[in-house]
Amino acid sequence: MEKLFINLLETIVFDFILIILFYYLNKFVLKINQKKFLIGYYIFIIIIIFLTSIRLNVGSDFQNYVNISNFVRSYFNDNKEIILYYNIQFGFPILSKFMFFISENMYSFLWIVSIIIYCFEFKYIQKHFKSSNERFIAYISFVVFGFFSISLNILKQAMAMSIMLFAYDALIEKKYSKFLIITCIATIFHISALVGAVLYLVSLKIKFNKKNLYCSVLIGIILNFSYRFLIPIIVNNISILSRYTKYMNDLENLERVWRPLSVLSYVVLFFLLLRLIMNDKKTCISNYQVLSLLMLGIPISIMSIDNWVINRIALYAYQFIIIIFPIYVKNNFNKKKLLLVGTVLFIWYCQFNIIGGNNNTHSYDTYITNEKNN
């Protein structure tokens, strides 16, 4: 436990150095030339891509991705073999093979992974916010709500999630062909993107109101009691999911006492936030559709309280908080209120980094400075 708290402290320092850097870099560029304010934004993207692409042992799944990359490099001669072996989820293995031709560095796959994740994430923020202050709050949301930590851990899903941000926008804009194409691209990195696409479609038919918010909790409780019967049926009868049969059966062995608490914290946080936002008509009127999507994450989280891996599906909904929270802050700029909300979020951020199971194995390190890997 002591190690977890030390890593938490190091994570807080690392994350908040980046937040401060983001703020002052943009402020400095604005001071020099207001017309070229995006330069600071782009410089920060380059910095975060660089820092995340040279990391070592950050994320509890880090070694797993290193093993996949090394396996692909050692045993496959061409992309056709990779596709046949990995079926629909051939994106990451092919990227790993591609990076091998650029560099023999065993961690070179991180370069392209970081470029994909953060270029899509920051481009999405740029698309929705013209103000540097709003972009700053969006980035804080990305960090405090745990998505930065997640992006350092579940790499394949993080790539799929960042791509699916644009799939949702295409759906809202009624560009259905574009939605389908983007979803297919995201799916080659992680099959969960298909479930994310279903969530986006369902959200269009749901109204964001108090009744449906409470119904989402009730539905989640019902699903929690029934999913153990439903999931095996779905996994066993859909061929592209068949490889997850053993994985789903082994979930109980993966669980720890604190994982259910981490999932429950998502339910409490997003339920309270949505109730809070519900009182702000400005935010609700302009973003009711996205709020409906956020609401869909709650029943999934409740369903997965004793099966934490399923909660990763809810992340496809929750990730849109990065475009809701800045709008809410703008519409409710009350220092006392924001201090209270900020304190609650910081407490949640701390517990997430302790018990969330993402980056509690190792603190930030790089393969450049680590002597054992030189």
Residues 138-166, mean pLDDT to the nearest whole number? 93
* pLDDT digits 0-9 by tens, 207-234: 999 999 999 999 999 988 877 666 666 5
Residues 263-282, mean pLDDT to the nearest whole number? 88
Decide if pLDDT at 78 tops 50.
Answer: yes
3 state DSSP class of 337 = helix
Maximum Cα–Cα distance for the chain, whole Å? 61
Q: What amino acid occupies position 97?
A: K
Alpha carbons 169 and 181: distance in angstroms, whole number? 13
Q: How confident is the model at residue 79 (pLDDT cuts 50, 70, 90)?
A: confident
The pLDDT score that the predictor gives to residue 201 is 96
What is the domain extent for residue 239?
A: 2-373
Decide if pLDDT at 238 tops 60.
Answer: no
Alpha carbons 94 and 151: distance in angstroms, whole number? 19
* pLDDT digits 0-9 by tens, 186-211: 999 999 999 999 999 999 999 999 99
Q: What amino acid occupies position 186?
A: A
Task: Report the number of distinct structural domains present in the chain.
Answer: 1
Is the CB of residue 299 less than 8 Å from the CB of residue 227?
Answer: no
Residues 96-118, mean pLDDT to the nearest whole number? 92
The pLDDT score that the predictor gives to residue 133 is 87
Residues 17-21, mean pLDDT to the nearest whole number? 92
Q: Which of 4-8, 9-13, 283-287 has the lowest mean pLDDT?
A: 4-8
Decide if pLDDT at 36 tops 80.
Answer: no
Q: How confident is the model at residue 333 (pLDDT cuts 50, 70, 90)?
A: confident
Q: Which residue is associated with the tokens 């990730």?
A: 319
CA dihedral 261, 262, 264, 267 (to 10 degrees): 160
Decide if pLDDT at 254 tops 50.
Answer: no
Residues 119-148, mean pLDDT to the nearest whole number? 92
Q: Which among 282, 324, 273, 293 has a CA at the least distance from the CA of 168?
A: 293
Taking CA atoms, 370 is separated from 56, 218, 275, 367, in Å, by 8, 50, 46, 5
* pLDDT digits 0-9 by tens, 309-319: 788 899 999 99
